């Protein structure tokens, strides 16, 4: 069942992005930036955690989860070390994503040729 929910929620979040692009004429960069901020805002009241529990990867794969996990890591350290903890923990949960994006991006740019 989680597979169906992942498909539906993941698709629905992308439709919201498509509507922002088509109807409000936002560039893809603006859509992605607003989605990251929306994800962080939704984390404040634990709404995004409920969405993840419901839809699994349907909520963790869209870029909104990036904003959510940045705030999540920041708050986990923030509860322990106060305001400084926010700076300590901000990349705690997203480091796997950022590290792999830098590593694979660099290696593939090194070994592949640009197409088109």
Partner 1 sequence: MLNDPKNYSESIKPFQPEVPYLMNCVKAFLVGGLISLIGQLIQTFYVHFFHFSNQEAGNPTVATLILIASLLTGFGIYDKIARVAGAGSIVPVTGFANSITSAALEHKNEGIVLGIATNLFSLAGEVIVFGVVSAAVLGMIRLFIEQIF
Whether residue 9 contacts residue 58, with contact meaning beta carbons closer than 8 Å, is answered with: yes
> Phi then psi for 56, rounded to 5 degrees?
60, -125
Q: How far is the CB of 60 from partner 1 (least distance, A)?
A: 5
Q: How far is the CB of 51 from partner 1 (least distance, A)?
A: 12
CA 42 to chain CA centroid, Å, is 12
> Judged by CB, which is closer to partner 1: 47, or 97?
97
Q: How far is the CB of 97 from partner 1 (least distance, A)?
A: 5
Rounded distance between C-alpha atoms, residue 89 and residue 77, angstroms: 5
Which residues neighbour 38 within 8 Å (Cβ) at sequence distance 6 or greater?
A: 64, 67
Which residues neighbour 74 within 8 Å (Cβ) at sequence distance 6 or greater?
A: 85, 86, 87, 89, 90, 92
Q: How far is the CB of 50 from partner 1 (least distance, A)?
A: 13
Among 60, 59, 88, residue whose Cα is nearest residue 76: 88
Residue window 11-50: x/- pattern of binding to partner 1, with contact defined by CB under 8 A = xxxxx-xxxxxxx----xx-xxx-xxx--xx-xx------
- Binding residues among 46-105 for partner 1 as defined by CB under 8 A: 52, 55-58, 60-67, 69-71, 74-75, 78-79, 82-83, 86-87, 90, 93-94, 96-102, 104-105
- Number of residues engaging partner 1 in binding (CB under 8 A): 77
Interface with partner 1 (CB under 8 A), residue from 47, 54, 80, 106: 106
């Amino acid at each position: 069942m989680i597979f169906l929910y992942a498909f539906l929620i993941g698709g629905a979040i992308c439709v919201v992005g498509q509507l922002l692009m088509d109807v409000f004429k936002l560039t893809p960069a603006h859509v992605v930036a607003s989605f990251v901020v929306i994800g962080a805002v939704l984390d404040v009241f634990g709404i995004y955690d409920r969405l993840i529990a419901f839809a699994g990867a349907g909520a963790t794969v869209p870029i909104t989860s990036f904003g959510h996990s940045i705030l999540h890591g920041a708050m986990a350290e923030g509860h322990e070390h106060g305001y400084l903890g926010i700076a300590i923990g901000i990349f705690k949960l997203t480091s796997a994503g950022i590290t792999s994006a830098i590593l694979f991006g660099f290696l593939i740019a090194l070994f592949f040729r640009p197409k088109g």
